[in-house]
Structure 1
């Protein structure tokens, strides 16, 4: 798999690898190109996880490679085409996943939770916000916040013990915040825990689509 920057190099990489390995390229299904992954969209990789033993991400983006590793829970390596290096990704991905899980449990103790609506193009998911707000209000004091950029400095301006941001899931997984800042998948896991439901906490982000 690869990102958009190195998509033009994917065929050559597959040809070279096919000399020694069985190589499978996941289907893009129209939204993405075959073998392409995006920041929160991993289905070309995820949909073939039961057919493969490991992933090789072509590129320099640990951001994308770690997403593949977390979503699939499979051994993942990054092939850097500039330095001709292969890097193991799962150790870094595991750190991100553990931080995401810890944030959920910290949010359990929060009294006030702010739900952050993203104002950038493609981030304004009002129906998702309404759904999470309605379910969360059974357990917590909830407020709505609208931000263009979700940063530590901006969140510090609001009176909340934890936040749920519905802008981009990678904001929550990839950035350290002083207070818990959950993405939508993390928020639904939090709601299930508050409702007393059993949650497979290790597989919260083990899905093909994080939005």
Structure 2
């Protein structure tokens, strides 16, 4: 079995390659590097730290669903987007269960709730949600609302775990999704797709490591 350190090196190398591919518009490289990054993080979830069995199970499930979501989002069209959205939503729930299994600190959870409220209030509710409705009607808008609620739960529970690494990872993960939604349904933001990929990979790594070593 590969060690945590080696898996992190693989994930880091694949992640940087993916960022380079996104920045230079090398789609064929991205198609290989993005799933490889998450596959290595699945391995990290399986071996890092000394997490109890239930936490380990939820972490591996969350990372695997992230890999499924990555592969789905490499496709084009609404079907691929909805498949990716669904995989990530269930993955966020798995991470939330992992975080709750490590403990729950009300003060941390309250801070996480304030952050999610600010993130939802800043452009998501006034711009991204109407944009999703215009783009795909009430069904897509409803799916986006459910997804926002699930990722908010993931952030709140990660902050509530009392692990700064998990809280930072969940925060970056949420910011990545916020940027992705805005760019898809409203318009471009500085950094383009790179502003989605970088916080996504760093966030996943910190979230997994934080909860695995809590």
TM-score under structure 1 length normalisation: 0.32
Q: Which has the higher strand share?
A: 1
Q: Which has the higher helix share?
A: 2
Computing the radius of gyration over CA atoms, which structure comes out larger, 1 or 2?
1
**Higher relative contact order, chain-length normalized (CA < 8 Å, sep 6+):** 2
